[in-house]
Amino acid sequence: MEQRAEPVQSRFGVGTDGFDLDDRAAIKVCTQDLENARRRKGLAILANGDFTLELLHGADKFRGRTRVQTEFIEDFRFSPHGIHKTISALPSAANLSSKIRDLSQSPSSKRPIAAQYVATFLKPEMLHIYRQIRALQAFQPLIFCQKRENADRFPMEGVQVLPKPRTHPLRRLWQKQLLGRPIMIYRAEARRLAGALCDAEARLIHIYFGHIGVHLLPLIEISPVPVVVSFHGADAGVDLGRPAHLAATRRMLARVHRVLVRSDSIAARLVEIGCDPGKIRLHRTGLPLDEIPSMQRAAPTDGAWRCVQACRLIAKKGLPASLRAFADFLKKYPHATFTIAGEGPMLGELRLLAESLGIGGRVFFTGFLSQENLRAIFLESHLFLHPSETGLDGDQEGVPNAMLEAMATGLPVVATRHGGIPEAVEHGVSGQLVAEGDAAGLAAEMLALAGDPERFAKMSAAAARQARTQFDIVVQSRRLEEIYRECVE
């Protein structure tokens, strides 16, 4: 008679979505699971609230056994050749507490501490987050992250690095690939981070990006301080079509104190999936306007229009539509150029498209640029293109940061009615908007502006005015501190 495993719920009184009901939950893997294990080269079995795994290499050797036995251990070192017990890969509680105490005794600690959680501190495209944290005045930021990058570009004192545990590759296998759910931290990690917040006497924790909020859900559920989560664009759409991801996001939204959004369009998406509108606060991207020069644009008398787009080279940025529109524009203005500033996986594809359209000699790919060099290109340009599109995975923009900086310099924008773009670009005033994917419409608006120098000049002034009115980092930073006060008072 074939032996079948009892459901985990009936054996242990818990489910497999976080082991919420019992810290000593265990999952037994029976023979019916071994075929999947053999295909994936490994299978996760867990325990002890710290999520222990037993790796099954060559699952064939287990076929004669009715059940794989688990062992309760604190943690282990991941190895493709076996399981080795070890202490946690994370910093010890004593060491972490000592570092935090040293920081909290610094002169700046007289301000209340607002912990800031950024999983990777900091990727080049996250300059807006660095500016936001640096601009805090009423609160002292304390950074927690899993990984520190670009420290020379983004200097910051007191960054606390809590790396992923060595078991993370197997955690990913178990939670994401086998169970099909979002990856969440272990309970031991949550307890350690909660203790660090207490040691620092933090008044709140601000988690950047909605999917990182889901990743930290075990912390949010036991947090000793109020939790703020901010959504920036893609994190309000990608993966939410998957039931497990949607359910976890709803749990997270139900437990946090405030939800920050970069645009009203993001707020609407979150309300659609069940977020309490009373928790949502609009918090715009802030620009350091005193660092961004502005210049009134005039149409070039020789027809040498300079068009620019600055972004990651990914699908949602609509770069193929930009190239096709520029190809049409070039027919009337053959001395025009198009500069694409940024890096990304679509570079090769875009180069081939430019060549196939016969415009390769007029399109320039600069790669990633420093802020100084990017602003120099903005000041030399006449039109900023940004025809964003919704990705197949639901990925959408909030309000593109590079577009805002371009507007602040006085660049008129030709873009799409997508995400939060219409909240920053007033159609017919500070820019022109077309439907997503409408390359012909994009070209028509570019040609119309080029053919009307007076309208073009007015739009340049309006673009600078709109960006500088709505997206001043001083104003937005004080707004963020008001939201923090709502949480702590």
Q: Is 228 helix (H, G, I), strand (E, B) or coil?
A: strand
pLDDT of 50 > 70? The answer is no
Same domain, 480 and 458: no
Look at residue 227 and tell me if it is in a domain: yes
Query: What does the angle CA 85 – CA 89 – CA 94 come to, to the nearest 5 degrees?
Result: 115
Q: What average pLDDT does range 190-213 have in this prediction?
A: 97
Same domain, 100 and 234: yes
Q: What average pLDDT does range 295-321 have in this prediction?
A: 97
Residue 54 burial (CB count, 10 A): 19
pLDDT of 254 > 90? The answer is yes
- Per-residue confidence (pLDDT) for residue 477, from 0 to 100: 97
Q: List strand residue ranges (DSSP E) for 314-370, in order.
A: 337-341, 363-367
Look at residue 1 and tell me if it is in a domain: no
Q: Is 414 helix (H, G, I), strand (E, B) or coil?
A: strand
Same domain, 155 and 302: no
Same domain, 328 and 275: no
Same domain, 225 and 333: no
Report the alpha-carbon distance of residue 411 to residue 378 in Å, rounded: 7
pLDDT of 70 > 80? The answer is no
Same domain, 249 and 330: no
pLDDT of 97 > 80? The answer is no
- Per-residue confidence (pLDDT) for residue 104, from 0 to 100: 52
Q: Residues 269-295: pLDDT tens digits?
A: 999 999 999 999 999 999 999 999 999
Range of the domain at 26: 8-85
Q: Is 77 helix (H, G, I), strand (E, B) or coil?
A: strand
Look at residue 2 and tell me if it is in a domain: no
pLDDT of 365 > 60? The answer is yes
Q: Is 224 helix (H, G, I), strand (E, B) or coil?
A: coil
Q: Is 242 helix (H, G, I), strand (E, B) or coil?
A: coil
Same domain, 59 and 185: no
**The token pair that represents 380 in the structure block:** 């030399």
Same domain, 466 and 319: yes
Identify the CATH number of the domain in which residue 447 sits: 3.40.50.2000
- Per-residue confidence (pLDDT) for residue 102, from 0 to 100: 56
Same domain, 42 and 134: no
Same domain, 271 and 299: no
Q: Is 101 helix (H, G, I), strand (E, B) or coil?
A: helix
pLDDT of 318 > 80? The answer is yes
Same domain, 454 and 478: no
Residue with the larger pLDDT of the pair 191 and 105 = 191
Residue 79 — very low, low, confident or very high, per pLDDT cuts 50/70/90? very low
pLDDT of 30 > 50? The answer is no
**Region for 342 from its dihedrals, namely left if φ exceeds 0, alpha if ψ lies in -120 to 50, beta otherwise:** left
Question: Which residues are 307's β-sheet partners?
Answer: 338, 383
Cβ–Cβ under 8 Å, residues 298 and 411 = no
- Per-residue confidence (pLDDT) for residue 172, from 0 to 100: 87
Report the alpha-carbon distance of residue 426 to residue 459 in Å, rounded: 10
Percent of the chain with pLDDT strictly greater than 90? 70
Q: What's the number of CA atoms in the CB half-sphere (13 Å) around residue 361?
A: 4
Report the alpha-carbon distance of residue 364 to residue 341 in Å, rounded: 8
Dihedrals phi, psi of 265, to nearest 5 degrees: -65, -35
- Per-residue confidence (pLDDT) for residue 103, from 0 to 100: 53
For residue 40, give Cα distances in angstroms to 62, 95, 336, 469: 15, 37, 53, 54
Cβ–Cβ under 8 Å, residues 293 and 379 = yes
Look at residue 3 and tell me if it is in a domain: no
Dihedrals phi, psi of 191, to nearest 5 degrees: -65, -40
Among 63-77, 102-116, 203-217, 473-487, which is the least confidently predicted range? Answer: 63-77
Counting every residue written for the chain, the total comes to 489
Prior bond to 21 cis, omega within 30? no
Q: Residues 160-184: pLDDT tens digits?
A: 999 999 888 999 898 888 888 999 9
DSSP calls for 121-158 = ET-GGGHHHHHHHHT--SSEEEEEESEE--TTTS--TT
Please give the tally of structural domains in the chain.
Answer: 3
- The last residue of a domain, from among 85, 103, 131: 85
Same domain, 52 and 113: no
pLDDT of 82 > 50? The answer is no
Look at residue 295 and tell me if it is in a domain: yes
Q: In the block, which residue shows the tokens 């709140």? A: 204
Enter the pTM of the model.
0.78
For residue 175, give Cα distances in angstroms to 53, 145, 206, 306, 369: 12, 21, 25, 49, 37
- The last residue of a domain, from among 65, 85, 105: 85
Residue 434 — very low, low, confident or very high, per pLDDT cuts 50/70/90? very high
Look at residue 97 and tell me if it is in a domain: yes
pLDDT of 418 > 60? The answer is yes
